[in-house]
Every structure is written in C-alpha cells, then in structure tokens.
C-alpha cells in the first residue's frame, strides 16, 4: 500500500506499530520497539510476550489500535530509536506521513483484519522471505488443534458450543462469536459443533440479552471485563439455558482473550487453555456424577434396609443401646462420680451402698431418667409442631406454647407465691393450652386452618405474651426466678 517500499535486506532495528510482535518473534526478526500492548490500557504488554520484551529490551511505543488522532503511538520515541524499518497497519494511516519521514515503512494490507490472522502472519513472512517458517508453523498449529479437538471430543462427544462476550463499551449488548477471536478457536481450529443461534460465515453478531433464548448450546464460553455474568445471571432467559442448568459455563476475561486470541502464539496458548478447561471440567463433572450416583445408591439401599422389619428392629436396638450407654456415662461422671464397678455394686447390693454409690443411686440415676423423659417429650412436641406446620424447623415456641406457659407461670408466681411445684407445672400447662386456643382461633381461615395464617398468629401471640411476662417479672421482681424456671433445672429431682 501507499506505493513501493524497499525493505532493508537484514533489518535490525524494526519498530512494529501494527501489533505484529508475535509474528516477528516466530519469524526471528529482531525489533526494538512495539505497540503490541493491551487493548484495555494501551500500556501493559500481554503476559505471553513479556519474557521476550524484557530479555531483548523492547520498548513500548503506544498501542496498535490507532484510535486517537496520533494513532495511539509515540512518534517522538520512535524517531529517537532511529529504526531501519517501521511496520504499520491501516489504523495508523492518519500518521503515515510522519512515520514515512522517520524510516522506510511497510503496511499490512487493508483487507487483513484480526479475523484474518493467518493473512496477517503470512504477509510479513513474504516481506522477509520467511514463507517456509510460516507454512511449517501453521502446519504444526493445525496438528495441535486436531489433537486438542480429539481430547475435547473424548469427554463431550458431539455436544454443541457457543462463545459469547459482554460488550465492554455498550452495557447490555453482547457479541456472539463465530470466526472471530475465541470463536475461531472453537469452531474453526478445533471444529467443534456450534449450537443453534450461532451466526454463520461472519466473525460474529452483536445481540441483546434476549437473544440468548435462541442459543441451545451444551457448553458456553462467556467473556466479560471481570469474568462474571453480572446481573444477567438472575434473569429467566439466562437461567433457562441448557449449559447454565448443567453448569457447563466457562468464564474468561476480556482483556486476556483480546491479547491472546488474535495472534499466532497467543491463539495456540489460548486454544490449549480453552481445551483444558473443557476436558478437566467435564472429567471432574463425570467423576462427581459417578460419586453422586454411588452415593444415591447407598442412600436408597440404606432406606430400603431401614424400612424392613429386620433393619428397623436392629436400628431401634442400636438406639436403645446408645441411650443406655449415655445413662451409664451420665451416672458415672460429676464431682461425686464413681465408676462402673461401684455402680454395679450399688445396683446389686442396695442395702449397703457406699457414699459414692448412694450419690449415684439417689441423685444421678433419677436425674438421668428425668433427662431421658424430658428429651422424649421435647422430641414428641417438636414432631407434632413440625407435622402441624409442615415446617422441619418448627418447635413449641412457634405457636406460642412456651410464651403462654411463661405468662401464666409469672401470674401464678405473683398471686399465688406459695404454690407447690406440681401446681406450678399445672398452671404452665393451662397457660400453654390457652395460648394454643388463641393462636388457633386467630389462624382460622374461612372455617378451616390456614397454615401461613396460623404461623403468623403464633408469632404475634408469642411476642405479645413474652412481652407481658417480662413486664410482670420486672414490675414484681421475678426476673431471676422466672428465668430459672424457664431454663429448667435437674437439681431438685429425686425418686420421690
């Protein structure tokens, strides 16, 4: 373009502002400066090129995108480097004359964009007589792509793919790739099958989020600035996608794929990353699915066994044994605890127990049995509440039972302070029953109980009665005794 240019026979001070650093490295052509920097910040050198730039003291002179009036390149620095050849692209046509005055320059053909990456690679090969190197590299690239494709198909079979990128500039729009960037790696290089909704014979298509409903891919590569879907993740359209339901979404970051998916070595490295993501994830999924299936089989087999007469009887026997062992342990521990020999001697020779044996028999044993009966009562109450409310987390406090009992106990303590413990328990029972009747009355809906209304009524009644109980205890100085009664205690339990 722009007329004929005589390329030096062996240029040693090439300045590349076309983004062809990767190609020059493969061709073995030395360059002193490059504009092959990140599309995002225009400064950072792509990670896979950093080692070469550092080792060979390559300067950066801007960015190859050519977005601004100066072409996003540093003309003064290029002039200071005294290059013997400058490689440019059509994006820098606006500074063509300035570059022409600095050194001989060649320009990549205007019909070669980053979609036609092979053409962008082959043209420098022709300039420098390196066609054989280019051909050999492309042959190895195709072989590697075939190898990676076989590796992927081994775990996914003929399942389909889609490659989507969130637009970094216009929020809410997306690119659905076909022959561009990472799309070329999936559909062209590895020849993996595209799903419905993927455009044909173009680099890609700009779409909105509703377009996702046309995509029925088994696997989706999704690229965005932060490697996340964002708010779109919660939309019904996104959640309905087959790949989302099966957790076959592979996330990537825009600046990485921009830097790597459009140049030879970058494409090769990135293609391997994508293939490994597919292979490793799918193998991991299959292993976990197999483990999950085995786990389900074990659970089903156990459920069937536990429902059988033999299984149920054995399971019940195990629980009884655990309970007996817990009782023995409870009786044998504590400040005045003994050991199993003392306990057996006490139970066998009741008429003449030792001091420790007497403590175990008259104090620890009744308390242990009381704990068992109390636990059984609480379990039964919880089961009843869970059955009524169909809530696996329900307890007796949900329908105001605890609050009703506490309320009447506090009233009884005020007006009948000398009442016996048994009478106090009877008062608590009446209070609990009273609260249940109120809750059930409020929870009735059109002649029959309404579950949600019943729970809401229980919560309201419980809050009210708890507040009244606390008010009474504060006014009459019953906070300590009422708290002690509510918490419960085993200290007064004997055989009587």
What CATH number did the domain enclosing 203 receive?
A: 3.40.50.1980
109 and 170 fall within a common domain? no
pLDDT of amino acid 68:
47
% helix / strand / coil in the chain, to the nearest 5?
Answer: 60, 10, 30
Predicted pLDDT at 459: 85
**154 and 265 inside one domain:** yes
Position 358 pLDDT exceeds 60: yes
Contacts of 448 (CB under 8 A, 6+ apart): none
Q: Give the pTM.
A: 0.57
CA distances from residue 206 to 177, 195, 199, 256 in whole angstroms, order as listed: 9, 17, 10, 20
Using DSSP's 3-state secondary structure scheme, residue 461 falls into helix
Bigger pLDDT: 16 or 7? 16
Secondary structure (3-state) at 122? helix
Q: Which has more pLDDT, 55 or 330?
A: 55
What is the count of structural domains for the chain? 4
Give the whole-angstrom CA distance, residue 487 versus residue 261. Answer: 67
Angle between helices 421-442 and 401-415 (to 10 degrees): 130
Q: Mean pLDDT across the stretch 245-251? A: 88
482 within a domain of the structure (yes/no):
yes
Whole-angstrom Cα distance, residue 277 to residue 487?
Answer: 56
Q: Is the model more confident about 460 or about 297?
A: 460
Answer with the residue of higher pLDDT: 185 or 234: 185
How does residue 33 score in pLDDT terms, banded at 50, 70 and 90? very high
Confirm whether 299 is domain-assigned: no
Which region among 83-97, 197-211, 410-424, 472-486 has the lowest average model confidence (pLDDT)?
A: 472-486
Do 26 and 133 form a contact (C-beta atoms < 8 A)? yes
State yes or no: pLDDT of 291 exceeds 80: no
Asked if residue 189 and residue 142 are part of one domain, the reply reads yes
Domain boundary among 393, 427, 458: 393
Please state the separation of Cα 494 from the chain's center in Å. 55
Task: Give the pLDDT of residue 3.
Answer: 56
Least confident range of 19-28, 100-109, 188-197, 231-240: 231-240
Query: Lowest mean pLDDT: which of 108-117, 281-290, 376-385?
Result: 281-290
End-to-end alpha carbon distance in the chain: 110
> 389 and 400 in one domain?
no
Q: Indicate whether 57 and 192 sit together in one domain.
A: no
Same domain for 401 and 382?
no
Local confidence band at 344 (pLDDT 50, 70, 90 cut-offs)? low
Quick check: is 119 in a domain?
A: yes
Q: What would the mean pLDDT of 77-95 be, rounded to a whole number? A: 89
pLDDT band for position 278 (cuts 50, 70, 90): confident
Which of these, 35, 40, 98, 105, lies nearest to 64 by C-alpha position?
Answer: 35
Residues 278 and 143 grouped into a single domain: yes
Handedness of CA 65, 66, 68, 73 (dihedral sign): positive
Please state the rounded mean pLDDT for residues 282-301: 61
In order of 161, 173, 426, the CA distances from 208 in angstroms are: 19, 5, 69
Q: Which helix (H) or strand (E) holds 490?
A: none
Q: What is the mean pLDDT of residues 388-409?
A: 80
> What is residue 69's predicted lDDT score, i.e. its pLDDT?
43
Residue 168 sits at φ, ψ, to 5 deg, of -75, -15
pLDDT value of position 388: 74
pLDDT at 346: 65
What does the pLDDT read at residue 350? Answer: 60
Domain boundary among 248, 283, 318: 283
Of the candidate ranges 206-215, 325-334, 408-417, the one whose mean pLDDT is the lowest: 325-334
Determine the Cα–Cα distance for residues 408 and 405; give it in Å rounded to an integer: 6
Query: Is there a single domain that holds both residue 28 and residue 55?
Result: yes
Q: How confident is the model at residue 105 (pLDDT cuts 50, 70, 90)?
A: confident
- Strand order, beta sheet including 85-88: 59-60, 31-34, 14-16, 85-88, 105-107
In a domain, 384, yes or no: yes
For residues 274 and 143, membership in a common domain is answered with yes
User: Shortest CA distance to 220 belongs to which of 151, 166, 297?
Assistant: 166
Going by C-alpha positions, the residue among 181, 67, 63 that lies closest to residue 117 is: 181
Write out the residue range of the structural domain in which residue 409 sits.
396-496
Per-residue confidence (pLDDT) for residue 337, from 0 to 100:
54
Same structural domain, 151 and 266 = yes
Measured CA to CA in angstroms, residue 127 lies from 68, 110, 120, 272, 347 at distances of 28, 16, 12, 30, 105
Of the listed ranges 174-183, 419-428, 438-447, the one predicted with least confidence: 438-447
Per-residue confidence (pLDDT) for residue 145, from 0 to 100 = 94
- What percentage of the chain reaches a pLDDT higher than 90? 28
**pLDDT in the model for residue 290:** 58
Distances (CA, A) of 466 to 316, 401, 402, 463: 39, 11, 9, 5
- Better-scored residue on pLDDT, 480 or 56: 56
Strand locations in 225-270, DSSP E? 249-253
Q: Which of 393, 408, 443 is the last residue of a domain?
A: 393
State how far the Cα of 9 lies from the Cα of 148, in Å rounded to an integer. Answer: 39
Query: What SS3 class is residue 32?
Result: strand
Work out whether strand 31-34 and strand 59-60 pair parallel, antiparallel, or are unpaired. Answer: parallel
Query: Which one has a higher pLDDT value, 208 or 340?
Result: 208
Asked if the structure places residue 2 within a domain, the reply is no
The answer to whether residues 104 and 228 belong to one domain is no
Let me know whether 102 and 163 are in one domain: no
Q: How many CB atoms lie within 10 A of CB 229?
A: 17
In a domain, 203, yes or no: yes
In a domain, 290, yes or no: no
Average pLDDT over residues 226-231: 82
Q: What is the DSSP letter of 475?
A: H
Highest mean pLDDT among 141-155, 348-362, 391-405, 431-445: 141-155
6 in a domain, yes or no? no
Quick check: 70 pLDDT over 50? Answer: no
């Amino acid at each position: 373009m722009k007329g004929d240019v005589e390329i030096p026979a062996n240029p040693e001070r090439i300045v590349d502002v076309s983004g062809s650093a990767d190609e020059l490295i493969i061709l073995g052509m030395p360059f002193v400066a490059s504009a092959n920097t990140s599309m995002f910040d225009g400064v950072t050198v792509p990670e896979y090129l950093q080692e070469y730039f550092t080792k060979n003291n390559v300067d950066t002179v801007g960015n190859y995108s050519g977005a601004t009036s100066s072409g996003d390149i540093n003309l003064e620095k290029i002039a200071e480097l005294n290059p013997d050849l400058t490689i440019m692209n059509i994006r820098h046509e606006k500074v063509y004359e300035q570059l022409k005055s600095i050194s001989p320059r060649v320009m990549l053909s205007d019909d070669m964009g980053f979609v036609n990456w092979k053409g962008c690679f082959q043209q420098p090969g022709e300039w420098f007589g390196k066609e054989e190197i280019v051909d050999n590299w492309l042959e190895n690239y195709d072989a590697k792509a075939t190898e990676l494709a076989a590796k992927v198909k081994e775990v996914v079979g003929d399942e389909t793919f889609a490659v989507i990128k969130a637009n970094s500039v216009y929020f809410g729009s997306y690119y659905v790739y076909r022959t561009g960037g990472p799309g070329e790696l999936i559909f062209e290089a590895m020849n993996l099958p595209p799903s419905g909704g993927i455009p044909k014979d173009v680099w890609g298509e700009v779409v909105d989020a509703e377009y996702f409903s046309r995509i029925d891919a088994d696997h989706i590569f999704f690229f965005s600035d932060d490697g996340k879907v964002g708010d779109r993740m919660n939309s019904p359209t996104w959640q309905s996608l087959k790949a989302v339901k099966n957790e076959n979404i592979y996330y990537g970051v825009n600046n990485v794929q921009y830097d790597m998916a459009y140049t030879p070595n970058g494409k090769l490295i990135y293609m391997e990353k994508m293939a490994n993501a597919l292979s490793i994830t799918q193998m991991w999924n299959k292993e976990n699915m197999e483990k999950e299936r085995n786990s389900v089989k074990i659970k089903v087999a156990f459920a069937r066994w536990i429902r059988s007469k033999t299984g149920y009887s054995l399971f019940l026997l195990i629980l009884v044994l655990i309970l007996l062992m817990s009782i023995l342990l409870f009786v044998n521990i504590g400040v005045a605890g003994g050991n199993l020999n003392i306990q057996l001697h006490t139970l066998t020779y009741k008429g003449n127990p030792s001091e420790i044996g007497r403590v175990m028999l008259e104090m620890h044993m009744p308390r242990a049995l009381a704990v068992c009966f109390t636990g059984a009562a609480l379990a039964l109450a919880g089961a009843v509440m869970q059955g009524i409310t169909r809530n696996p987390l329900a307890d007796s406090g949900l329908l105001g039972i605890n609050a009703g009992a506490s309320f009447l106990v506090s009233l009884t303590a005020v007006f009948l302070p000398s009442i016996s413990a048994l009478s106090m328990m009877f008062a608590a029972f009446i209070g609990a029953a009273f609260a249940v009747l109120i809750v059930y009355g409020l929870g009735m809906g059109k002649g029959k109980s309404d579950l949600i209304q019943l729970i809401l009524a229980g919560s309201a009644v419980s809050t009210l009665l708890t507040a009244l109980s606390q008010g009474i205890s504060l006014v009459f100085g019953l906070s300590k005794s009422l708290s002690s009664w509510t918490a419960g205690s085993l200290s007064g339990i004997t055989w009587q």
